[in-house]
């Protein structure tokens, strides 16, 4: 029996970071930078909310059709080898969530926002850390509160995200590469898992436009922190820039 290829949590982090950067910058002649992608919808809609809903609905429809992902195959250079269809799935869904955050006025260059995009993809609730950072859950964020969540707290969130990504099919932080990232969608016979894509789209809108950071997580898996971990920073930078 041949030796199975395995992936560790640090590999998941590298894959997510690579796809996030690609989503921001775009892929030449295939996918525009995230700002251009978002602005195309924003300029055609009366409100950011309407633009986001239009974008999400279009992405769900496109992702459900066979052949949509073929243009992405081989164009994303990931830090480790995973099936091309899996990388394409992750890239497209990463772009969809990041675009939603951008439309809601979030700074995609902020570490906190990047972590929340990952949490949205993985279905990890971060309600508790948001509350302890002084943010009122259930309201769209227009303050600098989340930007004050310190790196130590982000590290704990990212650890939970990585664990969630790789434990559906594996044990102790490793999975077979061919079964990587089941939670963000699956390609069966060349087409997207429509249901999972829609779940992620709904999750993205609720998180970034409605301030629901539970991510639809029905399990008792909210990332929790003691009061000392979530220490408010003295930085006074805005998470959601004015439009």
DSSP string over the chain: -PPPPEE-HHHHHHHHHHHHHHHHH-BTTTB--HHHHHHHHHTTSSSHHHHHHHHHHHHHHHHTSTTGGGGGTTTS--SS---HHHHHHHHHHHHHHHHHHHHTT--TTSHHHHHHHHHHHHT---HHHHHHTT--TTS---SSTGGGS-HHHHHHHHHHHHHHHHSSS-BTTBEEGGG--GGG--EETTEE-HHHHHHHHHHHHHHHHH--TTTT--SS------TTTSPPPS----SS---
pLDDT attached to residue 147? 72
So where are the chain's domains?
A: 6-210
pLDDT attached to residue 97? 96
pTM here?
A: 0.74
Ranges under pLDDT 50 in the chain: 1-4, 66, 79, 81-83, 142-143, 168-192, 218-220, 227-243
pLDDT attached to residue 134? 64
pLDDT attached to residue 223? 52
pLDDT attached to residue 209? 92
pLDDT attached to residue 163? 77
């Amino acid at each position: 029996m041949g030796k199975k290829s395995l992936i560790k949590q640090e590999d998941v982090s590298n894959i997510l970071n690579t796809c996030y950067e690609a989503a921001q910058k775009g892929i030449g002649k295939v996918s525009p930078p995230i700002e251009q992608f978002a602005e195309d919808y924003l300029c055609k809609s009366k409100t950011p909310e309407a633009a986001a809903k239009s974008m999400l609905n279009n992405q769900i429809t496109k992702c459900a059709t066979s052949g949509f992902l073929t243009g992405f195959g081989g164009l994303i250079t990931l830090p480790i080898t995973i099936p091309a269809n899996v990388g394409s799935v992750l890239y497209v869904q990463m772009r969809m969530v990041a675009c939603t955050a951008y439309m809601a006025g979030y700074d995609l260059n902020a570490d906190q926002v990047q972590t929340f995009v990952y949490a949205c993809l993985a279905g990890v609730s971060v309600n508790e850390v948001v509350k302890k950072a002084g943010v009122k859950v259930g309201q769209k964020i227009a303050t600098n509160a989340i930007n004050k969540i310190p790196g130590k707290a982000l590290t704990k969130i990212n650890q939970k995200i990585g664990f969630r990504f790789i434990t559906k099919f594996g044990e102790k932080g490793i999975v077979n590469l061919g079964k990587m990232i089941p939670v963000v969608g699956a390609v069966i016979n060349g087409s997207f898992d429509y249901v999972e894509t829609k779940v992620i789209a709904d999750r993205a809108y609720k998180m970034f436009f409605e301030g629901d950071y539970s991510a639809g997580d029905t399990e008792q898996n909210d990332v929790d922190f003691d009061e000392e971990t979530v220490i408010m920073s003295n930085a006074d930078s805005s998470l959601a820039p004015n439009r």
